[in-house]
Structure 1
Amino acid sequence: MDKKKLDDNAVEAPTELSSEADANKAALAVKEADTTSDTRVERSGVSWGFLFNLIFILLLTFATGGGGYYLYQEIAVQKDKAQALSVELKQALSEPAQHISRLEREQKQLASSTNSGIDKLKNNQLQLSDRVAKLAQRNPNHWMAEEAKYLVRMAGSKLWLEKDPSTSASLLKAADDRIESMKDPSLTPLRKALAADIASVSAIKSTDIAGTVLTLDNMIEHLNQLPLNRVDVTNAANRPTNPEMSESIDDWQENLAKSWKAFMDDFVVIRKRTTDITPILTPDQQWYLVENIRNKLLQSQLALYRQDQVNYRQSLTLARKWIYQYFDLSKAQTEETLAALDALSTLEIQTPGINHFQSTPMLQQLATHGNLMVTEEVSL
């Protein structure tokens, strides 16, 4: 029994051993299969990842290269723009800089010239002050000479600008009185020159320009009051009545003579006229006539101020002609106006023939140097 048990155990042991071997083989087979599958899977995964990474790297490289090229182009364009802007900026700044530099040079030149001019003026002022002080000490009548010089200058203005020789002569006499009051025998040549100037001015015929202008103004104001020359029309009421006829047949010759005389008186009328035959003027024509005469009188005034003898007389002649032709000569106002125009037409406008006074240079010497003999030039 024990042997049977041993045999049974022996039989069972190999069976168990074979089963374990089979199990190990199966495990090894499964393990190998798993290992092969993992190896295949691993090999397949490494291949696709590598391709993916390679493609990604290539795309990234291309993108980086394209971006770098585009960035390079943009940088080049911006660089060109910056260079062009820099050139324009330099050109724009160069002109103000040149202008500023030119202004600075001009300012320096002006400052230098101004300083030199101021220095020169200061020196001249000092020299002039010294000269005035010396003259005041040397000649106490300096201001008297200045007053005489001013009077002679005013005499020239009255003579040449205002055409007033009488006032000019009076001013020259006043200047001579100032020189006489200085009681200096060395001033005799100056008084001689003043006497010659006074004689020359006094010889000029004085024209009363102001009085003539006032006369013309009065005539212009009264033009509207002058009576026009009108044609007198005889009214029927003023005509002589028909003569009375006799009823007697024996007086037929006398009645015939009266009738013939009345017929002839009405048929032919003779009137005496004081002026030339002129048509009757309308109111508008009368206004234009008066305005034209006024215009001519104003022109004569202007010519009188300008010392124009020809235009003065022509204007008065035309005004007189129109008044004589269109106004009633039987009226006293018309006769007075024509007489005044005739008197004004004879006015002689004499222009001064003196261009300068002989005493002016001597008075300048006296006022500047204190005497008539210049011993030292004045450096101003």
Structure 2
Amino acid sequence: MADNKDNSTQQEAIENAANKKETVNKSASSAPSTRQADTSKKSSGNGLLWFVVLVIFLLVIGMAGAGYWYYLQQSNASQQTSIVQQQQLSQFNAIEKERTAINASLREVTQTNEALKNSLNELKSKNDALDIQLKSTLEQLNNMEGRRPADWLIAEADYLVRMAGRKLWLENDVRTAILLLVNADKRLKSLADPSILPVRAHLAEDIQTLQQLNPVSQSSVALALSGMMAQIDKLPLDTFEKPEDSDSNDTQLSESTDDWKDNLAKVWRSLVADFLTIKTIEEPVEPVMSLQAQFLVKEQLRLQLMHAQSAALKAEAGLYQQSLQYALTILNDKFKSGSTQVTGFVNALQNLMGTDVSRPIPSELASQQPLEKLLDSRVKQVFGQGASAL
């Protein structure tokens, strides 16, 4: 607004000066006749004209100074404006970044709120389900009529039957399995519940089946074979022995004169005994068994007894009988059959061959599945998922 006022003031001064010049020119042109009369006034008019020109010049200089000052003000204002614009732009960018961050935070908060709402809904649904299950459990507990302490005996019986199966199939311990089944039957008997009689019938069937198995102790047979293996080194082998000469000890002379012929023959044999010896052997001559051969024979016998021992522990009757038969063959062929030690060893082996080591163990117990069904119906359904750890 100040710049506009200055411009209007300068324009008015210029117009006034122009008007004055026109007035002077008009007066000079219109009144030539009066120039002589105004000669006296000429000096005063020129002075006024110079004064006006000086005023106009001063006005022009003032206007020029005012324009330069206005230019400086405008340049400073434009610089300040650009600085302010840059500051405002940086502030706007900062505000924009902050707004973007706030929007991202708002989105995250919104997502978190939605997740919390979903979790809250799930918790509510689970809580409702738990409430329903609690009510159902309470109703079942109210309908049990004090049967819970007795029904736990069914779980104990099921555990004993499972232990009997492990003893039977993993350790081949029939005696312990029978004892466990008997204890399980006692647990069910203490319930005094007629509905459990079919399960007890299956238990009785399993007990009778196991009692009818071969009662021979496999460990006893294995220990007997171990004791026999320790006696192998003491058994005499059937090796070649130098026969005794029946005539070697008959060198004494008779005092009777009637035996002169025999005495003469004895003297003759004693004289030629160091030069030539003739012996007669009626039995077949067997080759001499070396120490290595003797060791191998005893080790073969020991190996067969070890095979029989392993077969007895595994209840493999075929391999057991075959190993003992081969051991008897070695005894009859390689050892002295007339020796009392060999005879006793052979008799012991024959007794072991007459022992039945087979034991057809059943692949499953007849009472296991009915007892599991009974446990499901009487315990697991009553207590829900809490009985799944049984």
- TM-score, normalized by length of structure 1? 0.55
Q: 1:367 and 2:375 equivalent?
A: yes
- What is the alpha-carbon distance in structure 2 between the residues aligned to residue 126 and residue 202 of structure 1? 50
Give the conservation status (yes or no) of the 8 Å contact 1:323–1:338.
yes
- What is the alpha-carbon distance in structure 2 between the residues aligned to residue 349 and residue 225 of structure 1? 28
1:245-284 equivalent positions in 2, closer than 5 A: 267-270=279-282, 278-284=286-292
CA-CA distance at 1:178 after TM superposition:
0.9
Secondary structure of the 1:239 match is coil
- What is the alpha-carbon distance in structure 1 between the residues aligned to residue 234 and residue 259 of structure 2? 55
CA-CA distance at 1:260 after TM superposition:
11
- Going from structure 1 to structure 2, the CA distance change for 1:316 and 1:244 (only over 3 Å counts) comes to same
- Going from structure 1 to structure 2, the CA distance change for 1:267 and 1:153 (only over 3 Å counts) comes to same
> Identity across aligned pairs (percent)?
29
CA-CA distance at 1:328 after TM superposition:
2.5
- What is the alpha-carbon distance in structure 2 between the residues aligned to residue 298 and residue 228 of structure 1? 20
CA-CA distance at 1:148 after TM superposition:
0.9
Q: 1:311 and 2:322 equivalent?
A: no
Give the conservation status (yes or no) of the 8 Å contact 2:312–2:320.
yes
- What is the alpha-carbon distance in structure 1 between the residues aligned to residue 374 and residue 180 of structure 2? 18
- What is the alpha-carbon distance in structure 1 between the residues aligned to residue 191 and residue 251 of structure 2? 98
- What is the alpha-carbon distance in structure 2 between the residues aligned to residue 376 and residue 145 of structure 1? 14
Q: 1:286 and 2:294 equivalent?
A: yes
Q: 1:323 and 2:331 equivalent?
A: yes
User: Hey, what does 1:354 align to over in structure 2?
Assistant: 362
- Going from structure 1 to structure 2, the CA distance change for 1:126 and 1:259 (only over 3 Å counts) comes to farther
1:106-121 equivalent positions in 2, closer than 5 A: none
- What is the alpha-carbon distance in structure 1 between the residues aligned to residue 269 and residue 170 of structure 2? 73
CA-CA distance at 1:183 after TM superposition:
2.1
| Per-residue deviation, residues 291-347 of structure 1 (Å, max 9, x unmatched) | 121111111122223322221111111112212222233333222211111111112
| Per-residue deviation, residues 226-284 of structure 1 (Å, max 9, x unmatched) | 22233332467993233537896x86666688799999x9632456x9xxx75322111
- TM-score, normalized by length of structure 2? 0.53
Give the conservation status (yes or no) of the 8 Å contact 1:139–1:370.
no
- Going from structure 1 to structure 2, the CA distance change for 1:195 and 1:371 (only over 3 Å counts) comes to farther
User: Hey, what does 1:212 align to over in structure 2?
Assistant: 221
- Going from structure 1 to structure 2, the CA distance change for 1:153 and 1:132 (only over 3 Å counts) comes to farther
Secondary structure of the 1:191 match is helix
- What is the alpha-carbon distance in structure 1 between the residues aligned to residue 268 and residue 329 of structure 2? 44
- What is the alpha-carbon distance in structure 2 between the residues aligned to residue 298 and residue 369 of structure 1? 51
Query: Which of 144, 158, 161 does residue 149 from structure 1 map onto?
Result: 158
- What is the alpha-carbon distance in structure 1 between the residues aligned to residue 268 and residue 184 of structure 2? 90
CA-CA distance at 1:210 after TM superposition:
0.3
Give the conservation status (yes or no) of the 8 Å contact 1:138–1:370.
no
Query: Which of 148, 173, 178 does residue 187 from structure 2 map onto?
Result: 178
Secondary structure of the 1:267 match is coil
**More displaced, 135-144 or 219-228?**
135-144
User: Hey, what does 1:55 align to over in structure 2?
Assistant: none
- What is the alpha-carbon distance in structure 1 between the residues aligned to residue 250 and residue 186 of structure 2? 86
Give the conservation status (yes or no) of the 8 Å contact 1:190–1:363.
yes
User: Hey, what does 1:168 align to over in structure 2?
Assistant: 177
Matched AA of 2:253: E
User: Hey, what does 2:202 align to over in structure 1?
Assistant: 193
User: Hey, what does 1:230 align to over in structure 2?
Assistant: 239
- What is the alpha-carbon distance in structure 2 between the residues aligned to residue 344 and residue 171 of structure 1? 31
Matched AA of 2:316: D
Give the conservation status (yes or no) of the 8 Å contact 2:240–2:289.
no
CA-CA distance at 1:179 after TM superposition:
0.7
Give the conservation status (yes or no) of the 8 Å contact 2:237–2:335.
yes
Backbone CA RMSD of aligned residues: 4.4
Give the conservation status (yes or no) of the 8 Å contact 2:152–2:379.
no
- What is the alpha-carbon distance in structure 1 between the residues aligned to residue 281 and residue 248 of structure 2? 11
Give the conservation status (yes or no) of the 8 Å contact 1:307–1:349.
yes
Give the conservation status (yes or no) of the 8 Å contact 1:278–1:326.
no
| Per-residue deviation, residues 142-173 of structure 1 (Å, max 9, x unmatched) | 43212211211122223333333333222211
**More displaced, 349-358 or 359-368?**
349-358
- Going from structure 1 to structure 2, the CA distance change for 1:365 and 1:247 (only over 3 Å counts) comes to closer
Secondary structure of the 1:182 match is coil
User: Hey, what does 1:52 align to over in structure 2?
Assistant: none
**More displaced, 167-176 or 351-360?**
351-360
Give the conservation status (yes or no) of the 8 Å contact 1:160–1:352.
no
Secondary structure of the 1:356 match is coil
Matched AA of 1:361: Q
CA-CA distance at 1:214 after TM superposition:
0.5
| Per-residue deviation, residues 73-99 of structure 1 (Å, max 9, x unmatched) | xxxxxxxxxxxxxxxxxxxxxxxxxxx
Secondary structure of the 2:159 match is helix
- What is the alpha-carbon distance in structure 1 between the residues aligned to residue 147 and residue 282 of structure 2? 94
Unmatched tracts of structure 1, length 5 or more = 1-114
Displacement over 4 Å in runs of 4+: 129-138, 234-238, 245-248, 250-263, 374-380
